[in-house]
Structure 1
Amino acid sequence: MAVANAIIGYGTTFAFGDGADPEVFTVLAEVTDITAPSDSVDIIEATHMSSPDRTKEFVAGLNDPGECSFDIHFIPGAGDDTVIQALRNAGTKNNYQITWPNGRTWTFAAILTGYAPTAPVNDRMTATVTFKVTSSYVDAAGV
């Protein structure tokens, strides 16, 4: 019987870069769920008047690195809230990094596009932070 190799997400971190060279990444505290960049490839129709069997033809187009998001405990005015608001207000492309529990990292450029706090009456306050990824991610082994 094969042994499962599955791992849980506990210990995964999300960090933002400082733009320096070498770049230093600062981990955000109390992140609860991360959705990594969601790649998709555009499909371009390439049908022509002599396409075989009167069937549409397609070719691969450009890769769209999609979006990335995470949920975080929302504490108005706290350190992470201040950082996220500053990134949102700057409207600039920055580097971000996800570090997985096995030490591998995905580093990518993105623009913060959404910051949506929620305040339920009888549960913890959270916020969803969303980014439009603007580059392929670099997959690297942990240090």
Structure 2
Amino acid sequence: MAGLDAFGTQLQRGDGGTPTESFTAIANATNITPPALERETLDVTSHGSPDQWREYIGGLKDGGEVSIDINYDPRLHDVLVADFDDPNPRNYKVVWPGTLGSWSFAAILKGFEPEAPHDDKLAASLTFQVSGKPTLTPGS
């Protein structure tokens, strides 16, 4: 198989409920970019490094950012402004189509950029900063 269809992928927002949190899809998503995992590398090269090759070890990991583009509807999406105002991370999930699994993470909404061009639809781009380690749940 050469690839998988991304249609149906969702970015879901947690309601903060306890003991069981419910998740609802952010409506009208047109493009979702999941966490961009990164890791620093630390240069541990010394005068004794074999054959004068640099040596590295892994450093801190970063969950990166998540972005979503939406067909913006203020009636559906302005609730997200509360996430922007909240300094504490909220739980989100990227849910892959069908039975492909999900990525769960806590994140802070750091950017909410609506646009209203004279010759196109209302749209918005949202950017989230992942806080901590994402949880990858494999599908079946």
TM-score (norm 1): 0.88
Return structure 1 stretches of 4+ with deviation > 4 angstroms.
Answer: none
- Write the letter of the residue equivalent to 1:12: T
Identity value in percent: 36
Secondary structure of 1:60's counterpart equals strand
RMSD: 1.7
1:100-111 equivalent positions in 2, closer than 5 A: 100-103=96-99, 104-111=101-108
Moved more, 49-58 or 63-72: 49-58
**Residue matched to 2:90:** 94
**Residue matched to 1:11:** 8
**Residue matched to 1:62:** 60
- Which consecutive unaligned segments of at least 5 residues does structure 1 have? none
Distance 1:65 1:98 in 2: 13
1:30-71 superposed Cα distances (whole Å, 9 cap, x missing partner): 011000000111010101222222332111112111100100
- Write the letter of the residue equivalent to 2:83: L
Secondary structure of 1:49's counterpart equals coil
**Residue matched to 2:134:** 137
**Residue matched to 2:112:** 115
Deviation at 1:137, TM superposition (A): 1.8
TM-score (norm 2): 0.90
- Which consecutive unaligned segments of at least 5 residues does structure 2 have? none
Tell me whether 1:84 sits opposite 2:80 in the alignment.
Answer: yes
